A and B are shown apart, each in its own frame.
Chain A
Amino acid sequence: MAENQYLYAVARIRCREQRLLNASFLEQLVTAPSAEACLRMLREKGWDGGAPEDSDAMLAEEQKRTWDLIRELVKDMSILDVFLYANDYHNLKAAIKECKSQNAFAHIYLNQGTIPAEQIRQAVQENRLDSLPKGMREAAEEARKALLHTGDGQLCDIILDRAALEAVRQAGEESGNEFLKLYGELTVAAADIKIAVRAARTGKNKAFLENALMECETLNLGALTRAALDSEEAVASYLERSDYKDWAPELRKSPSAFERWCDNLLIRRIRPQLRNPFGIGPLAAYILARDSEIKSVRIILAAKRNGLPEDAIRERVRETYV
């Protein structure tokens, strides 16, 4: 009867899906004359958070609305932690670096996480890492030590990014839900591939790759490491032999095309949830769909402000869920 647990929630999400931005609306935003015109159109659509010209506040408000709705609908939010770990580890990274720099940067923290950002900030500042969850505590100790001893910000980032990926993959597996497991696996695989490509481009060594790459079921890390040590083309060739052979042509096109492909693939994989009336899947898919549309709007607004041509914007806008 677990599938009947979210009937009320899924019915509400079905109604909310009607208000998601569709491809034709995003196209209207792309062809709008300016960022201000885009903001006006979004406000007419109900995106009315923040001051009239403050797009950051508007997007933050939309993200908050999504999570407020989900928190209202789901009693045990731990099953959806898989989507929030990235924010937790971002906040941890910010807290450690803020602490090292001895300056306050309150605006760099993200609000949506499994632990309040302020709690993470205080734990790091007051050296009370014991108050953090086990996995996060170990990563925080290691990252802080690395930053203090070597002053290497990138090493600190690698430790925390890897810990975040491990948390996402583990949460996906432990959820017992196929959809969340798939999300965890795809997130880790996409991150590993991006790391391999960047490492190949910047000539990183084997030790770096071993520290940065996270194990997942669908990638052979040994082969990926060897490819990354060789060249970008070797990474693309490896992908052709893996479960992700469709990703190789995008990787050869450009980094932004590859990023877009990863996001689009996720949207395509979650689309069957539009027709699923049972279980947590439609709720999880709605969270991802909202994240994706907010990302697309952010890209369009940034591109409009920087005067990018419409075709260049279109190349970067993500596919829509509805």
Chain B
Amino acid sequence: MIILENLGVALALLGAVLAALWAGIGSSIGVGIAGEAAAGVVTEDPAQFSKVLLLQLLPGTQGIYGLLIGFVTLTQIGVMGGSADISVIKGALYLAACLPMAFVGYKSAISQGKASVASIGLVAKRPDQFGKAMIFPAMVETYAILALLISILAIFGIGGLAI
């Protein structure tokens, strides 16, 4: 019975964990593959370090967004302090609210990593085109931000529901 009584907070916590976990995994893959390409360019041309470093870091933002969603959810459900007494329905809603950030964060970080790899290749060939090279992976960021927005709006919205 104790499980059923606490199922709401368990579901909400699962949502927070998934958001941080999948977005973090996606970012680590994205930053990792971009880092390999960046190291290749710096081996041949150390002067490009600062440019390729910026491109490498771009897929890292999803991990930060996942952390933010996880943190806000934990605060809302009272795990970080206060009362953790929430209904099963509310817990399930928190879980659903975290999923956009979890899935979009994971996929967009990997896609952004690939776009960064391509842009690092562009900088290797034409260092003067760095500004344009930044734009291509940055476009992928749009979808991570949209997911962050919907997750955060949903989490704050659920807090005000009397269910």
Contact call A277/B117, Cβ cutoff below 8 A: yes
B69 at the interface (CB under 8 A from A): no
Q: Is chain A's interface secondary structure helix, strand, loop, or mixed overall? A: helix
Contact call A15/B45, Cβ cutoff below 8 A: yes
Of A4-12, A101-109, A116-124, A173-181, the one with at least 4 CB within 8 A of chain B: A4-12
Which of the residues B43, B44, B45, B121 comes within 8 Å of A277, measured between beta carbons? B121
Contact call A12/B117, Cβ cutoff below 8 A: no
| Alpha-carbon separation in the docked complex, A15 to B47 (Å) | 12
| Alpha-carbon separation in the docked complex, A233 to B60 (Å) | 63
Which of the residues B33, B41, B118, B125 comes within 8 Å of A12, measured between beta carbons? B41
Q: Is chain B's interface secondary structure helix, strand, loop, or mixed overall? A: helix
Count of inter-chain pairs, beta carbons less than 8 A: 54
Given contacts A14-B124, A15-B45, A17-B125, A8 and B118 within 8 Å (CB-CB): no
B residues 21-39 with Cβ under 8 Å of A?
33, 36-39
Which of the residues A4, A14, A16 comes within 8 Å of B121, measured between beta carbons? A14
| Alpha-carbon separation in the docked complex, A9 to B124 (Å) | 13
Which of the residues B37, B38, B43 comes within 8 Å of A10, measured between beta carbons? B37
B78 at the interface (CB under 8 A from A): no
A residues 1-32 with Cβ under 8 Å of B?
4, 7-12, 14-18
Contact call A15/B33, Cβ cutoff below 8 A: no
Contact call A7/B125, Cβ cutoff below 8 A: no
| Alpha-carbon separation in the docked complex, A16 to B45 (Å) | 10
Contact call A277/B40, Cβ cutoff below 8 A: no
B86 at the interface (CB under 8 A from A): no
Contact call B37/A7, Cβ cutoff below 8 A: yes
Which of the residues A11, A17, A277 comes within 8 Å of B38, measured between beta carbons? A11
| Alpha-carbon separation in the docked complex, A11 to B122 (Å) | 9
B148 at the interface (CB under 8 A from A): no
Chain A residues, Cβ within 8 Å of B39: 8, 11
Contact call A14/B125, Cβ cutoff below 8 A: yes
Q: Which residues of A approach B to under 8 Å, CB–CB?
A: 4, 7-12, 14-18, 277-278
Q: Which residues of B approach A to under 8 Å, CB–CB?
A: 33, 36-41, 43-45, 114, 117-118, 120-121, 124-125
Instruction: Give 8 closest A-B pairs by Cβ, nearest first.
Output: A11-B40, A15-B44, A7-B36, A14-B124, A11-B37, A8-B40, A12-B40, A8-B36
Q: List 10 A-B contacts (CB under 8 A).
A: A8-B36, A11-B120, A11-B121, A12-B41, A14-B124, A15-B44, A15-B125, A18-B124, A18-B125, A277-B37
Beyond A7-B33, A10-B40, A278-B117: 6 further Cβ-contacts under 8 Å?
A: A8-B37, A8-B43, A11-B40, A11-B44, A15-B124, A277-B117
